[in-house]
Structure 1
Amino acid sequence: MRYFQQKRLVKTFYLIILLFLPLVTHLGFIQLIHGDTYKQKALEQRTLKVALEDIPRGRILDRQGMQSLTMGKKEPRIVLYPQIIRNKEEAIHKLSRIIGRSSEEITPFFNGNSRFLPFSLNNREVKEISELNIPGMMVEDINFRYGEMPLAAHVIGHLGRISEMGTLERLNGLGTKKYTISDLVGKTGLEYFYETQLKAGEPANFTRAYVDVYRNLISGLGIQKENNNDTGRQDVITTLDFDIQKTVEKIMDKRVQRGAVVVMDARTGDLLALASRPNFNPANIVLSLPGEQDTFLDHCTTLYQPGSIFKVVVAAAALEEGIVKPTDTFVCLGEKDHLISCWQKSGHGPITFEEAFAESCNPVFAELGIKLGAAKLIRYARAFGFESQDIIGYPVPKDRRQQLDLIGQPYNLVNSSIGQGPVLATPVQLTAMLNTIVNNGVYIQPRLVKGIKNEKGVYSYHFSLGDSRKVISFETCRELKRLLKLVTLQGVGKEAWIEGFGSAGKTGSAELAQGAEKVNAWFTGYAPNDNPQYIVTVLVKEGISGGTTAAPVFREIMESILSSSH
């Protein structure tokens, strides 16, 4: 009998073990795997917290990874825990007197949640508020994402609230980071393209108040300033040069009301500056030129008729194919020419090809376009990148209007040969085209983003330099460089000549409408002449001509860049 009792006890013991094993396993799983998560949730429930940054988000940095293009700043602000403050009326009265704000303006903040207040403080105010020693009210430095006027606003883009539940669901389905309907997310530019990398799950710096159930500060803990080195945010490292970008934008603010400027490193194809006008401030887009339709348009990546700049492609193809030599002679009859009228209404008369290039003579290039034929012209335009809108690290959607095959349609070849008609290009594409000549016939794909860095400063993703391909021969490039120098030395681009360094390039004047007095004025060029360092393309919308309007802007920008780098 006793044997059977012992046997039943053993079975009962094993049954209890079997029943409790899943529970023990589950508790172990919670403790070992999710212990930190639940510990953090418990901490959040019994403490109050104020982030010491306005937007917990990774930075968008210059090529050195040092300067923030949003020009972020740090300013002292009042950090308020209204739940802790016992005598609110007295605190409101004292604060009102110090910062010169009415009690009515301040009171709502004392009835809300913990936060930092939006009032700027001077040194006196900081000192006097700190001397009040009111538990639950203090002054801390707050990191703000935007300064007074961020650089490269169109490239950076801007933030906005999540406007649709579908967007919220899509973002929450992309990874481990959680979004709420009140979050600020990227709407355009790099802010949009790298949203999930930039977003921080937690603020990097914050103050935490340790309180009991009655919202009394716990003795010995009180309010502490804490740091978090694992917020999940990453930084975007661009190729933009902070000083060059700043120089370009300063000059554009004076001289370009509408248009674009692109600066490229002549060796690597990296984009050192991209600037569009009219401009906007990402910190407050509501106040940015209301009513302006193209305020947020990135003109650097928008298609325009390139005008006579496209003659560089025609010249390259004609020289490469042996259709023309620099000394070949043509006749320009001006507005009476049978193919197309020239900007020089009286005509240039007998003119050599090299003179026609320097003077941007339309009839000569129309004749060359016909000799080349549409098929060859299309092939060379493609080789120069006129159907590749790709920029490394900057996935702007392709504009389907750019269709080089339209050059081959009836009646299009002549206009296409002077950069009108169906020929469209972005300022970035024109810059890459000229860089091909600088690099002795090798096309290099433009790059805007170098990579993504995590919070430890290590690249989590790196974008390599652009792919390259041979487009035209070294001999053709050497001749083109000589012709481009003639444009600035004695041709229509003399306003782009840079004393002490020299320069070379091409003007362009693209008609806006039949009979319109204004044109889209272009100049794209490089400097110095010997060992070129930079390619700069300037577009001034509604200008007089490329030589009159855009070339002087090119000269001022290039002089500023070169003088600061030598």
Structure 2
Amino acid sequence: MSKIRKFQACVNGQVSDDVTGSRIRYVLFGFGCVFLFFLGLLIHYQLIDSIAGIKYIRPASLQRRESVPVALARGRILDKNGVPLHYPCWHSALAVFPSKIDDRQSFVEEVAVLTGMDEHSLETMLDTHTTPFKLSRGLSPEQVEAIMSCPIPGLVVIPEAVRYGPGSLARHVVGHIRPNAYVNPKDNIGESGLESWFQTSLTGGTPAWVGTLVTGDGLEIPGSGMRIGPTGDHPEDLLTTLDVRVQYLVERVLDQEDVQKSGVIVLDAISGEILAMASRPQYDQNHPEDYFQLPDSPFVNRSTSDFTPGSVWKTVVLSLALEKGYVYPDEVFECRGRIEVGSTVINCGASPEGHGRVTVRQALALSCNCALIEIGLRVPPQELVDWALECGFGNKLRLPLAGQSAGILPAPGSMLPGDVANYSIGQGYLTITPIQAACFYRAVVCGGEWKNPGLVPGSEANEKTLFSERVSRVLQEALLLSAQEGTGKAAWVPGFGSAGKTGTAELNGDSPSSHAWFIGWTPILSPKYVICVFCERAGDGPTIAAPLFRKIAEQLLH
């Protein structure tokens, strides 16, 4: 009996221990849940809310100040070395703080005398603005001195950042923003160039401001005074491949030579990056509205617009003929100053008397129409057009620039012998852009390797082989001969040498009725720059574009 009791006691003790252990586990679980709950609250309020709270702090801070924007919340557009292409600067503006006006009538009268503004206009502005606003911008030093010498309560001279300074470069590449962005931050929108293409990445945050801190009742906090507030979360700058030094020198030459309508491209001969892209006429990016109706189309980027190429196209045709075996490097042609194509007679514009016997290299160097037409007529029209497409013509290049032209190529099925003849010398139904032409001539320099030009680092590079190094050497020799003895002699760079091709695209209409081209590279040994010079309706290539090439090259190399 005693053994049974002992056994029951043991069983009862074990059960009791199990119950106790179970209760302890429940208690520990409960404490764990409570701990995790409070830990979650701690993380939420101390970490997450401290980060997310910024979106509440900023609107609250805006309510605690009276201010006007003085700088745009916008990233800069930089050259390859980090220098702003648009050369931002500062000037003075005039702001009105309505809450600081003591006597409205006296304020209107005094401001009208100081600024020359109409009193009725000032009254209207005060009626429509309850918060600070800009009254005028771009004050002269004399105006600033006059206003500062006669302080008027509520009228404040403030600094203001101007995105486009007087030395702004590459204006057609950079583009412009809405002028009203300085008054209303909602208009901080790019309308052309890189400003438009990269609108999303260039904007963000809040603009820098000038103003005073106020209480919840709208009263100025004593002692706070007028202050400048920084830009919040400034967006990233945009880096480009342009080189400020190269861009400046190109634009300086264009302005010194007073070239009215032109486009110039400078490519890095090795990398294919765009070092400079200039267009004339240009415009004031701060006041684009003043240029809308001008006849010379100052908003057109002539470096990416399409024009008839003239004889610079002969290099494209010859490269095809050499690569496909339609002509041999040592072949000789007879030029009598004219060639008959069907019932049409085409003159050799470079030499009306005829060049006589010319080799393939001499034909290109002397820009012989007769030889190039004879070569072009050997090639089927379909191959001529397909080759142009392969060489990057007839399609837009991969560039972050709106308004870029693709150019025009003829329909092969409709090309008669006369059309092929015109096509072979860069005339007729054919247009290309200076940037397309520069890319092709760079391929001549690089042994036939073509590459899509770069404007923004990190862009996708499209590369391909157009023709063999053997063909490239023949073309290089011909274009060197052109600068030494041919139509491009005015482009020769003393001490460094150069090579390239002239072009004179004949047009209908008023004189001068031709576009002037020169495309080439320099120096001869270890080429560094590929330069395309285009002058719209300026005359012929040998006397207009070639000397301009030389002057630009000399500036870059010295």
Matching residue's letter, 1:36: I
Distance 1:102 1:516, change over 3 A: closer
- Does the aligned pair in 1 maintain the 2:178–2:190 contact within 8 Å? yes
Per-residue CA deviations over 1:239-298 (Å, capped at 9, x if unaligned) read 111122222222223332112111111111111111222222121112227332622111
Choose the corresponding residue for 1:522, options 502, 506, 517.
517
Q: How do 1:268-287 residues align onto structure 2 when only pairs under 5 Å count?
A: 268-287=271-290
Do the aligned partners of residues 517 and 331 (structure 1) sit closer, same or farther apart at CA in structure 2, a change above 3 Å counting? farther
Aligned pair partner of 2:306 in 262, 282, 303:
303
Alpha-carbon distance, 1:58 to partner:
2.0
User: Equivalent residue for 2:192?
Assistant: 188
Once the two structures are overlaid, the 10-residue window that deviates more, 407-416 or 354-363, is: 407-416
Name the counterpart of 1:256. Answer: 259
The structure-2 alpha-carbon separation of the partners of 1:513 and 1:126, relative to structure 1 and needing over 3 Å to count, comes to closer
CA deviations on 1:316-374 (whole Å, 9 max, x unpaired) are 22223344344422122224544632112222233222221111011101111122333
The amino acid across from 1:383 in the alignment is E
1:370 and 1:64 map into 2 onto residues whose CA distance is 49
* TM-score of the superposed pair, with normalisation by structure 1: 0.79
Matched, 1:152 2:170: yes
Q: Pick from 428, 437, 451: which aligns with 1:421?
A: 428
Check conservation: 1:80, 1:138, Cα contact below 8 A: yes
Counterpart residue identity of residue 190, structure 2: G
Q: Work out which of the residue numbers 310, 332, 336 in structure 2 matches 1:329.
A: 332
Counting only pairs closer than 5 Å after superposition, residues 8-47 of structure 1 correspond to structure 2 as 35-47=53-65
SS of the residue 2:478 aligns to:
helix
Q: Which moved more, 1:281-290 or 1:426-435?
A: 281-290
Deviation of the 1:40 alpha carbon: 2.5
Contact 1:306 1:510 in 2 (8 A): yes
Aligned partner of 1:541 in structure 2 is: 536
Of 469, 492, 503, which residue of structure 2 is paired with 1:474?
469
- Aligned positions of 1:196-345 closer than 5 A: 196-203=200-207, 205-212=208-215, 215-231=218-234, 233-253=235-255, 254-288=257-291, 290-292=293-295, 294-335=297-338, 337-338=340-341, 340-343=346-349, 344-345=351-352
Q: Deviation of residue 407 (structure 1)?
A: 7.7
Q: Please tell me whether the aligned partners of residues 159 and 185 of structure 1 are also in contact (alpha carbons under 8 angstroms).
A: yes
- Equivalent-residue separation in structure 1 for 2:242 and 2:394 (angstroms): 24
Residue number among 61, 72, 90 corresponding to 2:88 in the alignment: 72
Name the CA distance, whole Å, in 2 between partners of 1:442 and 1:536. 17
**Pairing of 1:327-406 with structure 2 (within 5 A):** 327-335=330-338, 337-338=340-341, 340-343=346-349, 344-394=351-401, 396=403, 399=406, 402-403=408-409, 405-406=411-412
Cα deviations by residue, 1:52-99 (Å, 9 ceiling, x for unpaired)? 22x4322222121222x22211124445423124356677788788x7
- One-letter code aligned to 2:60: A
Deviation at 1:309, TM superposition (A): 0.7
Deviation at 1:493, TM superposition (A): 0.9
Partner of 2:78: 61
Distance 1:349 1:519, change over 3 A: same
Range with bigger deviation, 466-475 or 377-386: 377-386
| Paired letter, 1:57 | R
CA distance in 1, matches of 2:284, 2:319: 41
Alpha-carbon displacement from aligned partner over 1:505-558 (angstroms, at most 9, x marks no partner): 001111112897621111101101111111111111112211111111111111
CA distance in 2, matches of 1:239, 1:105: 51
1:394/1:449 contact within 8 Å kept: no
User: Per-residue deviation at 1:427?
Assistant: 0.3
Contact 1:80 1:137 in 2 (8 A): yes
Structure 2 stretches lacking a partner, 5+ long: 1-40
Partner amino acid for 2:239? I
Q: Give the corresponding residue for 1:441.
A: 448
Q: Contact 1:79–1:116 at 8 Å: present in 2 too?
A: yes
2 CA distance for matches of 1:66 and 1:517? 39
Q: CA deviation at 1:136?
A: 5.4
Q: Is the 8 A contact 2:336 2:355 kept in 1?
A: yes
1:9 is aligned to: none
What is the aligned-residue identity percentage? Answer: 32
Q: Supply the AA of the counterpart residue of 2:520.
A: G
| SS of match in other structure, 1:508 | strand
Kept in 1: contact 2:339–2:370 (CA 8 A): no
What is the distance in 1 between the residues matched to 2:231 and 2:189? 21
Q: Report the CA distance shift for 1:433/1:45 in structure 2 as closer, same or farther (over 3 A).
A: same
C-alpha distance 100-304 of structure 1, shift in aligned 2 (>3 A) = closer
TM superposition shift of 1:128: 7.9
Contact 1:375 1:408 in 2 (8 A): no
Looking at structure 1, the residues matched to 498 and 254 of structure 2 have their Cα atoms a distance apart, in angstroms, of 20
What TM-score do you get using the length of structure 2 for normalisation?
A: 0.80
Give the whole-Å Cα distance in 2 for the aligned partners of 1:360 and 1:482.
Answer: 14
Rounded to whole Å, the distance in 2 between the matches of 1:269 and 1:230 is 34
Q: Distance in 2 between matches of 1:444 and 1:149?
A: 31
* Pair 1:516–1:79, CA change in 2 (3 A): closer
Structure 2 CA distance for partners of 1:503 and 1:397, relative to 1, 3 Å: closer
SS in 2 for 1:505: strand
C-alpha separation in 2, matches of 1:125 and 1:267: 52
Distance 1:103 1:369 in 2: 71
Alpha carbons 1:393, 1:447 under 8 Å: kept: no
Q: Look up the match of 1:177.
A: none
In structure 1, which of residues 491, 500, 516 is the aligned counterpart of residue 495 of structure 2?
A: 500
Aligned length: 503
* More moved, 320-329 vs 539-548: 320-329
- Please tell me the residue identity of whatever aligns with 1:248: V
* 8 Å contact kept, 1:387–1:404: no
In angstroms, what is the RMSD of aligned CA positions?
3.3
Which residue of 2 is the match for residue 560 of structure 1?
555
Per the alignment, residue 174 of structure 1 pairs with none
Question: What are the Cα deviations for residues 10-30 of structure 1, in whole angstroms up to 9, with x where unaligned?
Answer: xxxxxxxxxxxxxx9xx9899
The one-letter code sitting in structure 2 at the alignment partner of 1:480 is L
* Pairwise CA distance, 1:121: 5.3
SS at match of 2:178: strand
Give 1:356's aligned amino acid.
A
Change (3 A) 1:377 1:408: farther
Distance 1:31 1:84, change over 3 A: farther
Tell me if structure 1 keeps the 8 A contact 2:179–2:286: no
Letter in structure 1 aligned against 2:430 = V
Separation of aligned partners in 2, 1:500 and 1:105: 68
Between the aligned partners of 1:81 and 1:354, the Cα distance in structure 2 is 74
What amino acid is the match of 1:244? V
Aligned position for 1:176:
none
